[in-house]
Structure 1
């Protein structure tokens, strides 16, 4: 798969917003980002990076500021907490300390967002597979998914190092589609970051922006050109499931 890609052409003349409109009511599977979409993991992520600060004699950083970077992993959290970029010499040590802290306390306060358990139950009742596509590393993704109680019901779990590319490249989403055996054109991808929407569109999937998540980008979710934007997880079901 080439490194450079262009999103496939899509007719957006008809506004999305109802189950009948989104993929013409022909959604067969739903894929989700993990942090900030399925699960509210920010408290544990911020605690991990703040421990790096306090271990170095610094006061904890403000939660509300750091929370916005929770979907951006070590790069975003360390950048916000220390003003250090991945190319800086100090970054590797800070990253390793952060990851060690996080791995040691992976799911202390992390929880599924309100409305997600009911949504996943409804998808299962309809026989619609769902899966996870995250940029989180496998060594963190699989234990967290298990601790959140999702390991037995997810049709696939794709991590940031599962394929040679991570989002916004479409490779992880295309791999997930192959794993669940459903064409991308019948799949909806839900995420709380601009790169999620970029990856979904590039893969030829319909996209839903989870505005209830961390959304730590300069652009507001309504500007991401997703096919739909939801303010709470409970609003996803009407978009992806046609009336029974």
Structure 2
């Protein structure tokens, strides 16, 4: 059983016998949905922002990625033989699957939802627990984000939080009027006047992360910077409202 969803509203339970996932409303203590996820549904974990449930499918040699709010399967990731244990890093960037059938651990990048490494751990290994550590600069998530059609990338709250531990980018709040800011913000610049404040920005190839309340203002600012020749622009997905939903603090929040 794992708890997640908005404000911890829902609990999730795998039913190994029929390969389903039950979604339980904690407040009303009722099952609101039961959805098929795959054979041998076993261990599960919920992402830090509560949006995604990961389920080990021991009889399909895979992990199911499930949308927490609807139970919709977003992806099935092949990981190795008989995965029965899974665990997430604290920041939600890495998922680890213990493959009992071949004594390995698969390392999954949750951003790309792909296996990036498979590590032998020895016969008879059982049980799995992720231990958080600060990533090295070469492992920066900002370097691995893909750009969208508008020429900039997007980052999730838990990814940004992890990057702040070794911040090497410029963080700009473009929301107006001022309604609070994320710690380590470098400047507060109106989204519709960002072209007038280029002296507060780094060189055009250096990383810049933009955010606002919900994402609309940062989208406009991001497009403006791309049009001006900035090549390393990143937007916080759904702004500081999503940041707060993920459990992170906002300075000056009224």
Query: Normalising to structure 1: TM-score of the pair?
Result: 0.29
Greater helix content: 1
Does 1 or 2 have the higher relative contact order (CA < 8 Å, sep 6+)?
Answer: 1
The higher radius of gyration belongs to 2
Query: Normalising to structure 2: TM-score of the pair?
Result: 0.28
